[in-house]
Amino acid sequence: METINWIKQKKMGFMTNLFADHSKIETWIDNDELVSVTYQNSFFIIQKNDWFKRLFFLSTNPAHLESDLEILLPSLTDEKMVTDLIGMTGQTERMVSIFTSRGFQVRSTLIRMSATKLTLNADSVLVNYADKKNLQVIQSYFEQYFDKYVEQIPTKTELSEWLSNNNIFCYLEDGVVAGFLIFENVQKTAYLRYWFVHPDYRNKNIGSKLMLSFHLVNSQASRFIFWVINTNENAIKRYLHYGFKKEELMDKVLTFNIQQDA
C-alpha cells in the first residue's frame, strides 16, 4: 500500500500488473519468494518459483516504465521470466510493445469470462471434496497437462491451503482421480481457479458434476469469474453453455528467455 501511495503521490499517473490478493503476497513474503527493486518512477517485484521468475511492476506511466525496465533487465539477462499484462481490449498494446522491444515474447492471451447465474442440470450427482491422498495426483496433472508459464500452476502450499479450506472438489472413477475443480469465494464473488477432467474420462458428464458442486457451494455468490486461454475454443464453448460470457478484460502473458515450445 505504501508503494502504491508513493507512485500516486508523484501525480504522473499509475499503472501496474500486480493484482494478487493480500494473502497471496503475504505467503510469498513468508516463503522468501520476493525481491524488490526501486527506481525513480517505478517499483519492480520479482517472485521466484521452481521454474522461473514472475515480474510485477508499479509505475507512473508507460514512458517511465520503459526507461526503468531498460535499467532493470541487464541484471536479469540470464533469468527465465514471465509477466502478465492485464487490461481491457485495446489497452495493453503499449505495454506489450514496451516488453517485446526488450526481448519478451507473447506466449498466450487469456480472456476473462463471468456470469451472475450458471445454467446447470440440477439432477447431476454432487462431487466430494478432495483429501490429502488426492493432492499428489492433482499436482501431477498440473505438471503434465497445464502450461506452467501461462496458467499459474499452484504450489504444494497453495494446494494444501485450498484443501484445508474445502476449496477443491475431486471426482473419483474406480479410485482414480478423473477430474477436479478448485475455487475461491471472496466477498460474494466465486472464482473458478481450475477445472480439469482427465482426457481418459471425458464425455462422461464429470465436468458438469464438478461445475454443479461449485455452483451449489457458492449459491450465495453474486458473480462467477474464470480466466481461459483465448484459443481454447472447446473450453470456451462449455463455459458459454454454462452461462458464462466473455468480458473485454484480457491478460497478455509474455515470457523472457523461454522457448515458445517449452
Mean pLDDT, consecutive 10-residue segments, the chain of 262 residues? 56 78 79 89 91 93 93 92 92 93 96 91 78 95 95 90 96 95 94 96 91 91 95 92 94 93 71
- Grid cell in block for residue 35: 525481491
Q: What is the CATH number of the domain that holds 73?
A: 3.40.630
Distance of CA 236 to the CA centre of its chain: 16
Note whether residue 206 is domain-resident: yes
Q: How far apart are the C-alpha atoms of 150 and 195, rounded to whole Å?
A: 15
Q: What is the pLDDT of residue 123?
A: 64
pLDDT of residue 134: 96
| Domains identified in the chain, total number | 2
pLDDT in tens, 64-94: 999 999 999 999 989 999 999 999 978 899 9
pLDDT of 258: 93
Strands 53-59 and 105-115: unpaired
The predicted pLDDT at position 25 comes to 79
The pLDDT of residue 89 is 79
**Pair 171, 163: CB distance under 8 Å:** no
What pLDDT, on a 0 to 100 scale, did the predictor assign at position 20?
Answer: 76
Please tell me whether residues 96 and 152 are part of one structural domain.
no
The model's pTM: 0.89
What's the confidence (pLDDT) of residue 11? 57
- 124 with 105, same domain: the answer is no
Indicate which CATH number applies to the domain containing 212. Answer: 3.40.630.30
